Amino acid sequence: MEHWIRVEPNVKVYVNDLNPLGNKTLLFIHGWPANHQMFEYQYNQLVPMGYRCIGMDMRGFGRSDKPLGGYDYNRLADDIRCVIGALGLHNITLGGHSTGGAVAIRYMARHKGHGVSKLALFASAAPSLIQRPGFPYGTTREAIEQIIQSTYKDRPKMLHDFGDIFFYQPVSQPFSDWFFLLGLEAASWSTIAVSNAWMAEELFNDLPRIQVPTLILHGVHDQVCFFPLAEAQHQGIKNSVLIPFEDSGHGLFYDERDRFNRELARFAG
C-alpha cells in the first residue's frame, strides 16, 4: 500500500507499507543517497515471515517531494514523527541505515521515542560521521567536502565512486547499476544538503536519551561509517547490543543479508 504523507504544508513524503496486517511492524529509514528500495532484500524475507515492513523515502530522495530546504536532522526526524502519526503506528521497531540511523537516533531523543518500542541501527552515521575534538573515529571533514564538490561537478561519477566502497562482498555489474540508479533518483540539492548536515550534526547528547532496547549491526570493514562508530553507539546507549558483521562493509544489509535478516527478525519479533 502506497502513501504520500504531508509533513509540511507543501511537502509530502512517500511511504510503501508492505503487509499492513502483519503482526510486528518495522519502519525502515534509508541511508544517503538511496531510498527505501535499498531494503528490498529485507522485505523479500521479512514480509513472508509475517512482518509489516514500512519503507519511507526521506524528503529529497526516492519518490518523496524534493524541497530546497529542511535537511537538518531535526526536520528529518520531524518527518518521521509525521509518518508515525499519520499511520497510527505504535510498538514498532524503528530501523535506520547510515544517515537514516543518525536521524532515527535524533527521532528517539527529540520525540521521546513516540510509538517506538525497539531501535535498530545499521552502519549508522553516529554519534558523528566526521572527526571532532575528542572523537577521532570518523572520516575527515575534507573527505566530505570532496563529496560535496564532486556532486556539484559530476554527480553520476560521485555516486559511482561511492558505490565502489559501499559493499565488501563482490556484487554483479547489474546490481551495481541498480544501486547507482537509486542515488540518481535523489535531487542534487538534497544530496548536497545532507552532506552538509554531516558536518554540522552530532549526536553525543542524543545517545543517552534512548530508553528502548537497541540493536546495533555494523560491518567490520565499513569504509563509510567506520566500525569504532558502532562501539561509540554501544557505549552511549545503555540498553544496546552490538553485533559485528565480520564479512561486511557499509552495505551489510546485502553483504550478509541472510544473517542480517535473521538478527533483525529475532530482535523485532
Q: What average pLDDT does range 221-242 have in this prediction?
A: 98
Determine which one of 30, 36, 221, 250 is catalytic.
250
Q: Give dist(CA 209, CA 194) in Å, integer.
A: 24
148-157: pLDDT as tens digits:
999 999 999 9
Q: What average pLDDT does range 227-241 have in this prediction?
A: 98
Q: What average pLDDT does range 64-69 have in this prediction?
A: 98
CATH of residue 119:
3.40.50.1820
Determine which one of 36, 222, 240, 248 is catalytic.
222
175-192: pLDDT as tens digits:
999 999 999 999 999 999
Partners of 118 in the β-ladder: 93
Q: How many domains does the chain have?
A: 1
Residue 247 annotated as catalytic: no
Q: Give dist(CA 8, CA 47) in Å, integer.
A: 30
Q: How confident is the model at residue 142 (pLDDT cuts 50, 70, 90)?
A: very high
Residue 114 annotated as catalytic: no
Residue 64 annotated as catalytic: no
Give the whole-number percent of the chain exceeding pLDDT 90: 100
Q: CA dist 4 to 28, 69, 88, 265, Å?
A: 16, 19, 15, 27
- The pLDDT score that the predictor gives to residue 66 is 98
Average pLDDT, the chain: 98
Q: Which residue has the cell 557505549?
A: 235
Determine which one of 64, 79, 98, 128 is catalytic.
98
- The pLDDT score that the predictor gives to residue 241 is 98
- The pLDDT score that the predictor gives to residue 25 is 98
Domain of 83 in residue numbering reads as: 2-268
SS3 54: strand
Q: Give dist(CA 88, CA 258) in Å, integer.
A: 30
Eight-state DSSP code of residue 112: T
Measure the N-to-C terminal CA separation of the chain; round to a whole number of Å: 22
